[in-house]
């Protein structure tokens, strides 16, 4: 079953340069998420969670290596040209990791809820990307490897959330959803502001500048050409004031 956004995903991943940039961006996010998980392992007092977070961090680093290797291979196969402007980034979100979450300030339950939703969204998005990458088997294979791990991450975070917060897991999941929605809104607003800014600047260039250019040309046409002679009396007054 295809996603309702399959056409959008196909457009996003059709261009090889944009595909390479997305993979390199995913590599940065995965590596950053791995570092956050190491900090989470250092903070938690639960020995089981500490071990699972460290395993998860190793998976994230491996994903970063896979994405980076494939992204660089794609980039090396492309002719030299202008880089992608990144305006389609929000259309291919990938995994958001902990979204700059302050790990040291989060309790285990809240962190597990946020991780579970992040891994669930990543597994869904990567599965959708696999469906539109028929023309790029190596990239598709990378996503297939990553999705397998994301399914494990999604399941273990949910199971541990039920263990750590058996009575409060529902509220924690809803709070995590609200935080993710706020982050999504900020990303969308940033992308929309970039587009609106470009449109406004273009309109200013084509709508406001032409009248000023026309007025300047008319003023120039009224100006006499060449040097204008100075009246004798004005020249005499100027000579009296000059010492040299």
Question: Which residues, including other chains, have CB under 8 Å from residue 191's CB and lie 6 or more apart?
Answer: 87, 89, 90
Q: What is the mean pLDDT of residues 174-179?
A: 84
**Of 39-53, 83-97, 200-214, where does mean pLDDT reach its minimum?**
83-97
CATH number of the domain where residue 100 is located = 1.20.1260.10
Question: Which residues, including other chains, have CB under 8 Å from residue 136's CB and lie 6 or more apart?
Answer: 13, 19
Question: Is 196 inside a domain boundary?
Answer: no
Question: Is 59 inside a domain boundary?
Answer: yes
Question: Is 198 inside a domain boundary?
Answer: no
Question: Is 206 inside a domain boundary?
Answer: no
The yes-or-no verdict on residue 139 having pLDDT over 90 is yes
Secondary structure letter of residue 206 according to DSSP: I
Question: Is 48 inside a domain boundary?
Answer: yes
Question: Is 100 inside a domain boundary?
Answer: yes
Confidence (pTM): 0.69
pLDDT per residue as tens digits for the range 77-110? 888 765 554 444 444 455 555 555 677 778 899 9
Total domains in the fold of the chain: 1
User: Which tops the pLDDT comparison, 98 or 42?
Assistant: 42
Residue 74 near residue 48, CB atoms below 8 Å: no
Find how far residue 166's CA is from the centre of its chain. Answer: 35
Question: Is 226 inside a domain boundary?
Answer: no
Question: Is 26 inside a domain boundary?
Answer: yes
Can you tell me the distance from the alpha carbon of 106 to that of 73, in angstroms, rounded to the nearest whole number? Answer: 38
Can you tell me the distance from the alpha carbon of 69 to that of 145, in angstroms, rounded to the nearest whole number? Answer: 14
User: Which tops the pLDDT comparison, 23 or 230?
Assistant: 23
Expressed as residue numbers, the domain containing 30 is: 6-187
Q: Which helix (H) or strand (E) holds 154?
A: helix 137-164
Question: Which residues, including other chains, have CB under 8 Å from residue 131's CB and lie 6 or more apart?
Answer: 2, 3, 6, 9
pLDDT per residue as tens digits for the range 180-194? 777 776 767 777 787
Six token digits for residue 35: 């570092």
Can you tell me the distance from the alpha carbon of 67 to that of 130, in angstroms, rounded to the nearest whole number? Answer: 14
- pLDDT band, very low/low/confident/very high, at 221 (cuts 50, 70, 90): confident
């Amino acid at each position: 079953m295809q996603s309702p956004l399959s056409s959008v995903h196909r457009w996003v991943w059709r261009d090889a340069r944009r595909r390479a940039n997305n993979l390199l961006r995913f590599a940065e996010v995965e590596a950053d998420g791995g570092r956050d998980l190491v900090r989470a392992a250092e903070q938690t007092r639960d020995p089981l969670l500490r071990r699972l977070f460290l395993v998860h961090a190793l998976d994230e680093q491996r994903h970063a290596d896979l994405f980076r290797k494939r992204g660089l291979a794609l980039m090396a196969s492309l002719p030299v040209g202008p880089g992608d402007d990144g305006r389609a980034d929000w259309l291919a979100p990938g995994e958001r990791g902990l979204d700059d979450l302050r790990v040291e300030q989060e309790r285990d339950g809240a962190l597990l809820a946020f991780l579970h939703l992040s891994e669930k969204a990543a597994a869904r998005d990567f599965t959708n990307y696999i469906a539109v990458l028929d023309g790029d088997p190596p990239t598709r294979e990378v996503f297939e490897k990553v999705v397998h791990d994301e399914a494990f991450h999604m399941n273990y975070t949910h199971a541990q959330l039920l263990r750590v917060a058996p009575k409060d897991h529902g509220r924690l999941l809803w709070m995590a959803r609200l935080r993710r929605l706020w982050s999504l809104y900020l990303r969308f607003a940033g992308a929309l502001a970039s587009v609106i800014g470009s449109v406004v600047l273009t309109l200013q260039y084509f709508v406001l500048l032409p009248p000023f250019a026309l007025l300047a040309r008319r003023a120039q046409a009224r100006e006499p050409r060449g040097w204008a002679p100075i009246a004798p009396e004005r020249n005499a007054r100027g000579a009296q004031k000059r010492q040299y």
